[in-house]
A and B are shown apart, each in its own frame.
Chain A
Amino acid sequence: MSDLKVVPDPKKILIEQFGDKIQIQEFRGELTVVVDADDLLAVAQYCRDFPELDYNYLSDITAVDYYPQEPRFSVNIQLYSLRKGRRLRLRVMWSDGDHDLPSMTALWPSANWFEREVYDMFGIPFNGHPDLRRIMMPEDWDGHPLRKDYPLGYETVQFSFNYDEINQHKPYAKK
């Protein structure tokens, strides 16, 4: 054995622990771990708590809409390890009608607003979120703007005084 300290590879640790429950993707030097929704919480907790991984900082949560592909959405969770200086992306696929995704707020309170934004913009619900409301759009807004089948523009702006009038000919996003 050499004296050189072997830097543990997060990819190996995760494969050893979770085996074929996870899929590893690498692109431009970024590590992406694709997980099933059922395993997401366990994998995320392991990433945070296992000392060799130590992903203690949640940077970002966002979603991508692959419409018309199925499964339609991917939710991407960016993790960062402050002590190791490494990034990791957890990805979980989701379609309309699937079970709610588990919320990350129990592990990282910072997930709160990011999940609200994903819920607001894509309509992806999170199970166990303490306060899942719309964040950018008004409470009574119809549709989720960042979905690919939601039109970009050319619509009259709806206010309370002309709501009914515009509602009649408004091209809503198909649910």
Chain B
Amino acid sequence: MTLETFSTWEGTVDDLKGLVTERAISGETMLLNMGPQHPSTHGVLRLILELEGEEIVNCIPDVGFLHTGIEKNMEYKTYEKSIVMTDRMDYLNPMGNNLVYCLAMEKLFELDVPMRAQIARVILAELTRLNSHLVWLGIHGLDLGVTSMMTYCFREREVLLDIFEMVSGQRMMSTYFRPGGLWRDLPEEFEDAVRFVLKTFPAKIDDYEKIMTHNAIFLDRTQGIGFITAEDAIAYGLSGPTLRASGVNWDIRKAQPYSSYERFEFDVPVGQHGDVYDRYLLRVEEMRQSLRIIEQGLNMLEPGPFRSNNRKYVPPPRSELGRSMEAVIHHFKLWTEGFRPPKGEVYVATESPRGELGCFLASDGGPNPLRVHFRTPSFANLSAANKLSQGYMIADLVAIIGSIDIVLGDVDR
């Protein structure tokens, strides 16, 4: 297809002119549209490819199909009401999104979080990481022809989703973390359910590795594909396993610990080759490390308060309402007007399964935030798609897009 026929379909010739080479305009190379409905684009991602034969000359991602204006909506709600929106950004990492927003609020308000809540947050964040990596592994396998991975991974994921349902009442959109702690205390059955995960998962991960790690077809399709050097990875803003596969040892859980991660012992796997295969190995190893963290967390978990006692930000428990007039006033003020934090801006970064998930929160002293911005890892990682895929075959693109583990809800917000 030449650029002229392409333009009748989409009408963005002028925009494409700076992005593709001159040869595309003369018709020497081919322009191909991939997506937004293509299954291996993990949602609604559209890629405009410039191809020479089967080789990718340029890959131009077109995002925004899932843009729902979450940041705009949050400016019109009180701080606490908009936690539900954070679940819906990166739908594979709902607890992690709750966590970064709550941490930003707590930093702005200077709100204390009881230790039990911090440990519970770490356990649940790591379970969410496990959940996210499982979905990634299943889909990545499906993309590359190991179709049975999908069924195995989703089977195991159900166990995790049941735990999320147990604590929050919701399988996916949990909204369980609140400023100052948790929505309610962990249920009694929680520990047994998580111990069951700890007992069964190592063998399951070994099974996945048996299917994937030494599979000749999988090796052929992933080794040496989507290579990026450490310098380029840093310059292009990659983070998470995608950056660590290039040999950069940077995990925010270690570098700038939050929510009591400094109390946990775990290793950060770092790759050497910076290709799709190393990213796969890292994520599998991260699943094992997550299990280590969860086990330590369960051992540290002690009974105690699960939410801060600061009544200016945290509503009083239901039982107090019948006895204390002050509790009724606080309850009424918090649920009608919300709270009024001090003026200022904070930026908090956490390590999501995909990389640096940051929250920039600006307050003007009113009950609604002045601005909430999420620095999402998928957005930054996807912006390097052109750099990652230039010079590879069109079939490799599926592996490359899979290996940077994007979630389109996280890209578009």
B contact patch SS:
mixed
A23–B15 alpha-carbon span in the complex (Å)? 39
B15 & A59 in contact (Cβ 8 Å cutoff): no
A121 to B250, CA, bound (A): 31
B369 to chain A, nearest CB (A): 10
Interface residues on B, range: 35 or more
Q: Does B53 contact A (CB under 8 A)?
A: no
A contact residues around B370 at 8 Å (CB)? 64, 66
Instruction: Judge if A130 is at the interface, Cβ distance under 8 Å.
Output: yes
Closest B residue to A69 by beta carbon equals B364
* Residue of chain B at shortest CB distance from A65: B371
Which A residues touch B69, using CB under 8 A? 145
Decide: B373 and A60 in contact? CB cutoff 8 A: yes
Q: How far is the CB of B70 from chain A (nearest CB, A)?
A: 11
Mask, B245-259, CB within 8 Å of A = 1, is 000101000011000
Asked if B371 and A82 make an inter-chain contact with CB atoms under 8 angstroms apart, the answer reads: no
The stretch from B173-181, B186-194, B229-237 touching chain A is B229-237
Cross-chain contact B412 with A60 (CB below 8 angstroms)? no
Given known pairs A78-B347, A78-B358, A108-B235, the reply for A135 and B76 (CB within 8 Å) is no
Q: How far is the CB of A65 from chain B (nearest CB, A)?
A: 7
CB neighbours (8 Å) of B71 from chain A are 121, 146
Of B347, B360, B384, the most chain A CB neighbours within 10 A belong to B347
Which residues of the other chain, A, contact B384 by a CB distance below 8 angstroms?
Answer: 109-110
Chain B min CB distance to A75 (Å): 11
Place the interface of chain A in its size category. Answer: 35 or more
Tell me, in angstroms, the Cα distance from A115 to B237 when the chains sit together.
13
Residue B379, interface by CB 8 Å: yes
A15 to chain B, nearest CB (A): 21
Whether A175 sits at the interface, judged by CB under 8 Å, is: no
Partner of A57, one of B15, B18, B64, B237: B237
Least CB separation from B373: chain A residue: A62
**Cβ-defined contact, A136 with B349, below 8 A:** no
Please measure, in the bound complex, the distance between the C-alpha atom of A130 and the C-alpha atom of B17, giving whole angstroms: 12
Residues of A within 8 A of B18 (CB): 130-131
Residues of A within 8 A of B72 (CB): 145-146, 152
Contact assessment for A59 and B356 in the assembled complex, using a CB-CB cutoff below 8 Å: yes
A27 touches B67 (CB 8 A): no
Contact pattern, A 106-144, Cβ under 8 Å of B = 1, otherwise 0 = 001110111001000100000000110111111100000
A positions within 8 Å CB-CB of B:
27-28, 30, 32, 56-60, 62, 64-66, 76, 78, 80, 82, 85, 87, 89, 108-110, 112-114, 117, 121, 130-131, 133-139, 145-146, 152
Interface on B for A, CB 8 Å cutoff?
12, 15, 18-19, 63-64, 67, 69, 71-73, 76, 107-108, 110, 234-237, 248, 250, 255-256, 344-347, 349, 356, 358, 360, 362, 364, 370-371, 373, 375, 379-380, 382-384, 387, 412
A27-B345, A30-B345 given; 11 more Cβ-contact pairs under 8 Å: A59-B349, A59-B375, A62-B360, A65-B371, A76-B345, A76-B347, A76-B360, A78-B360, A87-B349, A110-B383, A117-B379
